[in-house]
Amino acid sequence: MRNPKEKWGSFVARWFLYFFCYSVIGWCYEVFLEVVVYRWGFSNRGFLLGPYCPVYGFGALIFLACLSGLKHRRMEWKLPLQAADGRRIAINVTPVVVFFGIAVIATVIELVASYLMEWVTGGWMWDYRRFAFNFQGRIALNPSLRFGLGGMVFLYGIQPLLEKVTDRLGDKAVRMTALVLFCVMVVDLIGKVL
């Protein structure tokens, strides 16, 4: 029988790996937007030196914690139409509810992150004033909808793959990998602060 501390350590290590992977994916997304979409040229989009944006990692963990259970539920909207067998036709609306949940959560995270960054550094790293339906340039409808779409790709596509990879690695390899990556991020953070 496994030691409960070992089991807890494996759980934390897996979630840290998810955090790290989504931080890197978020950094890649930000760089893609800058270089390919907006054609502004390359700049390190993270506030740390490494290729990761921790706000995406935290957002992903919050999505997992808040929406994983909902993702597996079937929520139906019954239409006033009947099928040939007499049953009412129902549409599964769970993905729509999950999409809006992601968009709302991401928007709140982005708003809070902008205030935290402003408090710590004097400003934040984005400006949405050029978008319609923005609030102080901190959040806007367009990015919120993009985060909703990206979150759907993450929750329904990427996360199941990451879970398979971490399952194949095994607990010991997951814990060691997480420890090494954690140390890298801590050294990066210390280097940034000093």
pTM of structure = 0.79
Asked if the structure places residue 72 within a domain, the reply is yes
pLDDT at 1: 44
> Which mean pLDDT values do the consecutive 10-residue runs of the chain (194 residues) have?
68 94 90 80 68 88 90 79 74 90 92 88 84 92 92 92 92 93 90 76
- Total domains in the chain come to 1
Q: Which domain holds residue 67?
A: 9-193
In a domain, 2, yes or no: no
Per the domain annotation, does 3 fall within a domain? Answer: no
Burial of 87 by CB count in 10 Å (0-12 exposed, 13-18 middle, 19+ buried)?
exposed
13 in any annotated domain: yes
pLDDT in the model for residue 53: 87
Expressed in percent and rounded to 5, the helix, strand and coil fractions of the chain are 70, 10, 25
Q: Is residue 66 part of a domain?
A: yes
Burial group, residue 3, by CB count within 10 angstroms (0-12, 13-18, 19+): exposed
67 within a domain of the structure (yes/no):
yes
